[in-house]
């Protein structure tokens, strides 16, 4: 089921996922200092309490340990088509090691692809559960575009932005990963059971908790660090000031990952958290190409975006200066036009005849004025043909 050193290591880590909560730094320190086998031995009552916890908490961990049965969890996982991936396994994503003592003790994975390979080119797209139509549209569009660029879209499987991101990637025939705050055999929220099943068929469903475990508010928050660590960068589409998706973004910043935000209306409370990120270190993005520019290889730049080229943009600079010198209403003399364009009268007259041939100006007696078409062009309408 994994490539870890031996069966005892495997069973020990499975045991610990049942006893120690996700992200528990004390548990991570114990494993680092004493090794899996010794931590399991002490939790089972054979040895002194491990350091750094109160007597009350140690008693709670011991009570959990008394009920843990790693063999039963592995059997339940096999029946559900779930495998256990641990540090040292060939499928383990090295990016997760950046979490230090908060690194998962192991991950339960549902789906056929290799988690390590998919994590190499992955982006998190997260945001508010109670999102707007604009937010859902942007999440789906970004995810679909990223999938078409060959990127794996990672999110949390929740309602709102998460669901839109997963659906966008799936709809484009791309790859997506759902990181859950519960057992991967127990889809949550229940209303996304069909979506999560589809993700498991076409992509991957991942979680730290063993089969049958339910989510809690704390587990949702701690799950977000895995999303941040697993990916090259995090895009927040919509988020209020207290949104959990901001936890993901800030975790990404601490880990040195790219952090991006999609702007929304200044009056929208659901974009207030994103705008706060953008006032800091996050980068503003509006389409998949801009996301890839941040997380992709050197030289993968988003195309330059400019307004439409107007006919007057194609004029030589000297001609543009003379055209700009003409007043909008009454005719002006060549001398006045030359003075405004900072050129000689002879040059101004030569440019005026060029501009007349192009339909920009007309002569009225001794004066020159803009044609009606040129005035319309200056206001953003079609220019002279």
pLDDT band at 376 (very low <50, low <70, confident <90, very high): low
Q: Which two tokens stand for residue 228?
A: 């941040």
The mean pLDDT of 312-324, rounded to a whole number, is 86
Q: How many residues does the chain have?
A: 385
pLDDT band at 104 (very low <50, low <70, confident <90, very high): very high
Q: Residue 23 pLDDT more than 70?
A: yes
Q: Which two tokens stand for residue 367?
A: 């004066």
Instruction: Specify the pLDDT at position 301.
Output: 60
For CATH 1.10.10.10, the residue range(s) in the chain are 311-378
- Please count the CA atoms within 13 angstroms of the CA of 7 that sit on its side-chain side: 3
Q: Which two tokens stand for residue 208?
A: 């730290």
Q: Where are the alpha helices (DSSP H) in 172-285?
A: 193-202, 217-230, 244-254, 272-278
Higher-pLDDT residue of 304, 11? 11
Distance CA 42, CA 50 (A): 7
Distance CA 121, CA 117 (A): 8
DSSP assignment of 78-120: HHTTEEEE-TTSTT--GGGGGGGGGS-S-EEEESSS-HHHHHT
Please say whether the beta carbons of 207 and 107 come within 8 A. Answer: yes
Higher-pLDDT residue of 307, 66? 66
Instruction: Specify the pLDDT at position 4.
Output: 47
Tell me which of 187-201, 296-310, 328-342, 352-366 is least confident: 296-310
Q: Residue 375 pLDDT more than 80?
A: no
Instruction: Specify the pLDDT at position 142.
Output: 97
CATH number of 311-378: 1.10.1240.10, 3.40.1190.20, 1.10.10.10, 1.10.1060.10?
A: 1.10.10.10
The pTM of the whole model exceeds 0.75: yes
The mean pLDDT of 230-248, rounded to a whole number, is 94
pLDDT band at 358 (very low <50, low <70, confident <90, very high): confident
Tell me which of 175-179, 261-265, 313-317 is least confident: 313-317
Q: Residue 55 pLDDT more than 60?
A: yes
Q: Residue 1 pLDDT more than 80?
A: no
Q: Residue 157 pLDDT more than 90?
A: yes
Higher-pLDDT residue of 215, 299? 215
Q: What's the CA angle centered on 80, arms 76 and 84, to 5 degrees?
A: 70
Of the candidates 230, 279, 227, 272, the residue with the CA atom closest to the CA atom of residue 249: 227
The mean pLDDT of 350-367, rounded to a whole number, is 89
The mean pLDDT of 310-337, rounded to a whole number, is 85
Instruction: Specify the pLDDT at position 3.
Output: 44
Q: Does domain 111-295 have CATH number 3.40.50.12780?
A: no
Instruction: Specify the pLDDT at position 2.
Output: 45
For CATH 3.40.50.450, the residue range(s) in the chain are 111-295
Higher-pLDDT residue of 307, 43? 43
b/e burial code for range 146-164 (CB count within 10 A of at least 16 → b): bbebebbbbbbbbbbbbbb
Instruction: Specify the pLDDT at position 40.
Output: 96
Instruction: Specify the pLDDT at position 47.
Output: 80
Share the mean pLDDT of the chain.
Answer: 91
């Amino acid at each position: 089921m994994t490539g870890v050193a031996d069966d005892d290591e495997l069973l020990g880590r499975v045991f610990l996922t049942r006893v120690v909560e996700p992200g528990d730094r004390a548990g991570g320190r114990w494993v680092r200092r004493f090794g899996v086998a010794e931590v399991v031995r002490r939790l089972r009552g054979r040895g002194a309490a491990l350091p750094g916890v109160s007597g009350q908490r140690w008693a709670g961990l011991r009570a959990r340990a008394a009920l843990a049965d790693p063999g039963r969890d592995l059997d339940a996982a096999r029946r559900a088509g779930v495998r256990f991936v641990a540090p040292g396994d060939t499928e383990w994503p090295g990016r997760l090691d950046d979490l230090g003592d908060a690194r998962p003790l192991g991950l339960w994975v549902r789906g056929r692809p290799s988690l390590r390979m998919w994590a190499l080119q992955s982006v998190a797209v997260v945001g508010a559960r109670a999102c707007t139509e604009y937010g859902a549209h942007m999440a789906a569009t970004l995810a679909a575009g990223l999938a078409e660029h060959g990127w794996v879209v990672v999110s949390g499987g929740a309602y709102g932005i998460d669901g839109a991101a997963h659906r966008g990637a799936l709809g484009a025939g791309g790859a997506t990963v759902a990181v859950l705050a519960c057992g991967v055999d127990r889809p949550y929220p229940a209303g996304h059971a069909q979506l999560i099943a589809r993700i498991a068929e076409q992509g991957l469903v991942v979680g730290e908790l063993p089969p049958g475990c339910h989510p809690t508010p704390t587990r949702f928050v701690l799950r977000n660090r895995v999303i941040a660590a697993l990916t090259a960068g995090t895009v927040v589409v919509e988020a209020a000031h207290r949104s959990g998706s901001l936890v993901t973004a800030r975790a990404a910043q601490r880990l040195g990952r790219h952090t991006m935000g999609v702007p929304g209306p200044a009056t929208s409370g659901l974009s207030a958290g994103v705008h706060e990120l953008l006032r800091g270190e996050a980068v503003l993005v509006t389409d998949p190409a801009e996301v890839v520019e941040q997380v992709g290889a050197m030289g993968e730049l988003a195309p330059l975006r400019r307004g439409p080229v107007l006919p007057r943009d194609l004029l030589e600079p000297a001609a543009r200066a003379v055209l700009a010198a003409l007043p909008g209403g009454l005719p002006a003399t060549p001398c006045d036009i030359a003075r405004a364009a900072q050129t000689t009268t002879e040059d101004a007259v030569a440019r005026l005849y060029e501009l007349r041939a192009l339909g920009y100006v007309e002569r009225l007696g001794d004066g020159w004025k803009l044609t009606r078409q040129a005035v319309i062009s200056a206001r953003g309408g079609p220019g002279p043909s």
